[in-house]
């Protein structure tokens, strides 16, 4: 049965959130407005006491519990923002909160739940495992499970963001860009805004690797993703809710996606506008607006973006900064082949001209050609092609690696030697849960029949780790290796034919 939007609008109007939530400011970002050619307004939900809009939905849901339900307590599954909202709301309304979190949850987020009066239980390597444990706990104890996005009271609480936006805007905006994961914020904002001003465009923005709403729209029903990119962990949802899909599909005008690099660039833009570091999901809506301005599809007039949260781990900031310039088009990463002879390196540097070099990786080999990995600053988006043309004019073979995941995540940190050409090498990229002992478990599960010839791992402060691993394998054993690696159970990608690997590491 479809959700009655008139009833939901009434629930938003009656939502009891301000005992815990702030009426956050709506700020005109003057620098961004000049840059993007339209007024850009930031709805600063990162300024909530729990640093996220999630307090609104949790507060409204728990405020509506009966006395009997409060006596039984509440439980939830979350790796971050929802957990803090439920813990704070439960403490305020005098009920017990037990939060189930994946073992991969960073300590700072676990401690934040404790600081707000919640009890935590760490279970499994994923949200799904934590959610299953929370539902089982609710079944056994009678505790009320507080869903992070698919309950009407939660959606109504999030809808107060939309109500505030229309009250705070000096005039009717052309569009509101909403970060989208499970769809609670999108459904709430969209319902209220469309009831008051139907011509305002509601634009859902998702990461390209976690686009559950866009995928479901195309399928015509809530559809689970086969894989979920957890980079923007605040919106890394496998499947949109049934209620939120029903609502959002009626109130959203468009669903768009952006890359992780574009998200990182938007984090930088928010910092430059506010001097605040937000989490990747917090900058997602702005990334969507910027992407539409670039391709000429953004509506004219005032545009509002939701800055949804700032619960970012400190040790992730370096990785975000590293990727921001690529996402903004302010840096390019490329490979070049130059003759291995005196003077060739100088000629290459001259071809670069006065461009600022951000990184340079080179190692002598015994062949007659050298491969260099170079990062350069760009002053405009069009300069990327000019760099390639300048190199080619000097007879230098070049390949743009700015969008090559292996090059950005691994290769730029490990350019060194090549494998022996006499021993066939197969290269795989793996993902595994970033928890204590996970890397060791991964290595233990590798079959000792195959020698590891290359290995790179770097912790980015995320909930998932990334490993690049090379194996010395006779050609007739490649299928056996693949079958054995598949049994480990971690997502993996064969990268032997990757162009960056071929340039710098293969024999």
Residues noted as catalytic: 54, 308
φ and ψ at 295, to 5 degrees?
-95, 5
Query: Cβ atoms within 10 A of the Cβ of 315, count?
Result: 13
Query: In angstroms, rounded to a whole number, what is the distance separating the alpha carbons of residues 260 and 237?
Result: 15
Q: Distances from the Cα of 445 to the Cαs of 393, 442, 488, 506, in angstroms?
A: 49, 5, 6, 25
User: Residue 174 carries which DSSP code?
Assistant: S
Question: Roughly how many angstroms between the first and final C-alpha of the chain, as a whole number?
Answer: 60
Handedness of CA 7, 167, 149, 265 (dihedral sign): positive
Q: Quick one: the chain helix, strand, coil %, rounded to 5?
A: 45, 20, 35
Identify the DSSP state of 356.
P
DSSP for 224-271, written as a single string: --S----SSGGG--SS--HHHHHHHHHH-SEEEEE-HHHHHHHHHHHH
Residue-wise burial string across 264-286, b where 16 or more C-beta atoms lie within 10 A, e elsewhere: bbbbbbbbebbebbbbbbbbbbb
């Amino acid at each position: 049965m479809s959700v009655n939007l008139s009833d939901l609008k009434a629930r938003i109007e009656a939502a009891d959130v301000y005992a815990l939530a702030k009426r956050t400011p709506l700020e005109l970002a003057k620098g961004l407005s000049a840059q993007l050619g339209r007024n850009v307004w930031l709805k600063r939900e990162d300024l909530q006491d729990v640093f996220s809009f999630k307090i609104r939905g949790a507060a409204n849901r728990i405020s509506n519990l009966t006395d009997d339900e409060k006596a039984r307590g509440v439980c939830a599954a979350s790796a971050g923002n929802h957990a803090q909202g439920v813990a704070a709301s439960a403490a305020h309304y005098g009920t017990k909160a037990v939060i189930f979190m994946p073992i991969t949850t960073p300590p700072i987020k676990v401690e934040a739940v404790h600081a707000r009066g919640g009890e935590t239980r760490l279970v499994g390597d994923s949200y799904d495992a934590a959610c299953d444990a929370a539902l089982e706990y609710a079944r056994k104890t009678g505790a009320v499970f507080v869903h992070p996005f698919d309950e009407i009271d939660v959606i109504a609480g999030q809808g107060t963001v939309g109500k505030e936006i229309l009250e705070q805007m000096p005039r009717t905006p052309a569009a509101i860009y909403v970060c989208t994961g499970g769809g609670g914020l999108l459904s709430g904002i969209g319902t209220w805004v469309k009831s008051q001003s139907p011509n305002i465009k509601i634009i859902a923005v998702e990461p390209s690797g976690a686009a559950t709403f866009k995928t479901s729209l195309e399928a015509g029903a809530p559809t689970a993703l086969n894989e979920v990119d957890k980079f923007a962990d605040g919106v890394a949802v496998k499947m949109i809710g049934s209620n939120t899909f029903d609502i959002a599909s009626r109130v959203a005008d468009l669903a768009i996606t952006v890359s992780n690099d574009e998200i990182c660039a938007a984090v930088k833009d928010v910092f430059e506008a506010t001097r605040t570091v937000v989490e990747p999901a917090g900058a997602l809506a702005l990334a969507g607006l910027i992407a539409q301005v670039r391709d000429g599809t953004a509506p004219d007039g005032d545009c509002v973006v939701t800055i949804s949260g700032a619960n970012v781990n400190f040790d992730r900031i370096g990785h975000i900064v590293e990727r921001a310039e690529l996402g903004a088009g302010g840096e390019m990463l490329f490979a070049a082949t130059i003759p291995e002879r005196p003077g060739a390196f100088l000629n290459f540097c001259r071809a670069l001209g006065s461009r600022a070099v951000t990184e340079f990786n080179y190692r002598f080999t015994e062949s007659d050609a050298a491969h260099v990995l170079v990062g350069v600053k760009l002053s405009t988006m069009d300069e990327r092609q000019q760099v390639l043309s300048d190199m080619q004019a000097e007879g230098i073979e070049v390949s743009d690696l700015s969008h090559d995941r292996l090059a950005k995540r691994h290769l730029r940190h490990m350019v060194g030697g090549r494998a022996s050409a006499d021993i066939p090498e197969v290269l795989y990229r793996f993902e595994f849960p970033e928890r204590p002992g996970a890397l060791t478990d991964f290595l233990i599960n590798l079959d000792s029949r195959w020698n590891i010839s290359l290995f790179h791992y770097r912790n980015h402060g995320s909930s998932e780790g990334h490993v690049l691993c090379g194996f010395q394998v006779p050609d007739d054993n490649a299928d056996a290796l693949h079958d054995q690696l598949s049994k480990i159970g971690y997502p993996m990608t064969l990268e032997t034919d990757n162009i960056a690997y071929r340039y710098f590491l293969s024999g």
